Amino acid sequence: MSSLTLNERRNRLNTSFTPYKAIYLPEWFAGRTKLRDRAWDAVNSSGRHIVIFGDRGTGKTSLARVLAVEVQEPKSPTGRRSIVVSCSSNDDFSSIWRKVFQEIQVTQRQIGFMQDATAPVVGRVEVGEDGIENPGDVRLLVRSLPNPAIIFIDEFDRVPVNGAHRLMADTIKLFSDTGVDSTIVIVGVADSIADLIAGHESIARNIAQIQLLPMELAELSLIVRQGYKYAELGSDRGLDGKIAELSQGYPAYTHLLGLWAGRRTLDGNRTTVTYGDLDGAIGDALENAAGNLQQEYERAVASVRKDNLFREVLLGCALAEKDSLGRFAAVNVREPLHRITGKDYETGAFQSHLAKFAEKQRGPVLKQTGTRRNYRWQFLNPQLIPYVRLNGIQTGLIDR
């Protein structure tokens, strides 16, 4: 018999399901075991650095934050220290590294950068009047640290193309070539490492490339089971797998659906999450989805004509069979569109819809690649895929 009160369960539910922020503690990070092992190996290999990349919403920041906790050695006076900074659209190479060394001052106060446990004063990192202009400046400053540093530079994709990408590549190469006992970890939204690091070919052997693809169903199911177990909630058989399936590989949706389904259970003063709770949570998830997904969706399907097919075709795109890069052909939309509408449309009947989805007026929400007669389509924001599917369920176009 559980001793938890209703409020205690609610608090635990809110702790275990966090759709709006990255995960910081290893005990709450489910899955990605092989990728975590690869990152560990890179941190423990001299001259190796890390680039974590992938689509939005795949958990890159969570992996980086958890890794930052796992690799540092706060109890050892000369152990590793983790430094985490985030980039903005106003950053350049110099400002990024200024953030790093400012953060080091914070870490000095928290766990200390020091040579030994008896040192009475923690040394400061002094940035000269000329600032940080090149990789050589960074190397000298990092080498002056008494502790090895694992430096996480998150949201690197937000940095404008202003030379920072090539200078960062040069810094990684310089660190590797001169044996600097610290590791740089670059994190950002990208389809490939080339999108984040200029001149990456020359430093390929110095980098562990960690690409986060959408998560496996088993990993997402584990998130649900762990979350409900911590809140001491049961669930209908197979509910964890259904939430995982609806999430389409994106953990934020797993957290979102798990959270709101659990809240509906507690609102009913029950301890078992049901499929009925999940059905109600779909509407909650659509209303509370992070970012501008609702606005993206409404802009994509807007039309003054009531007989338009934009909602149905976009749902067909979300349901269409895709290749490993998330691309699909117009012919792949026919079968799901038939299931949605009950009508058998030729591709010519909705080809113009696909083209309009790739225009600025509707977002764009799709990207067109390939050549005439062999066009391929791809969602520019893959997190829109589960949103569109959930909207289709909510509006009755498809069933759960």
pLDDT tens profile 329-377: 999 999 999 999 999 999 999 999 999 999 999 999 999 998 877 899 9
Partners of 152 in beta bridges:
84, 185
According to CATH, where is 3.40.50.300 located in the chain?
A: 32-212
pLDDT above 60 (res 129): no
Class of domain 6-17+215-288: mainly alpha
State mean pLDDT over 216-236: 96
Between 65 and 307, the higher pLDDT residue: 65
Tell me if the domain spanning 293-394 has CATH number 3.10.200.10: no
According to CATH, where is 1.10.8 located in the chain?
A: 6-17+215-288
Can you state the angle between helices 251-267 and 6-16, rounded to 10 degrees?
170
According to CATH, where is 1.10.10.10 located in the chain?
A: 293-394
The pLDDT-based confidence of 324 (bands split at 50, 70, 90) is confident
Is 183 strand, coil or helix? strand
The rounded mean pLDDT for the chain is: 89
pTM for this one?
0.84
Alpha-carbon distance of 93 to 350, in angstroms, equals 46
The pLDDT-based confidence of 205 (bands split at 50, 70, 90) is confident
Strand residue runs (E) in the chain:
49-54, 81-86, 149-154, 183-189, 207-212, 234-235, 272-273, 327-328, 366-369, 376-379
pLDDT above 80 (res 1): no
pLDDT tens profile 55-104: 888 899 999 999 999 999 988 888 999 999 999 999 999 999 999 998 88
Alpha-carbon distance of 256 to 286, in angstroms, equals 9
pLDDT tens profile 19-61: 988 888 888 888 888 999 999 999 999 899 999 999 888 899 9
Residue 23 confidence (pLDDT)? 85
The answer to whether 57 touches 214, Cβ cutoff 8 Å, is: no
The answer to whether 92 touches 164, Cβ cutoff 8 Å, is: yes
Q: Which CATH architecture has domain 32-212?
A: 3-Layer(aba) Sandwich (3.40)
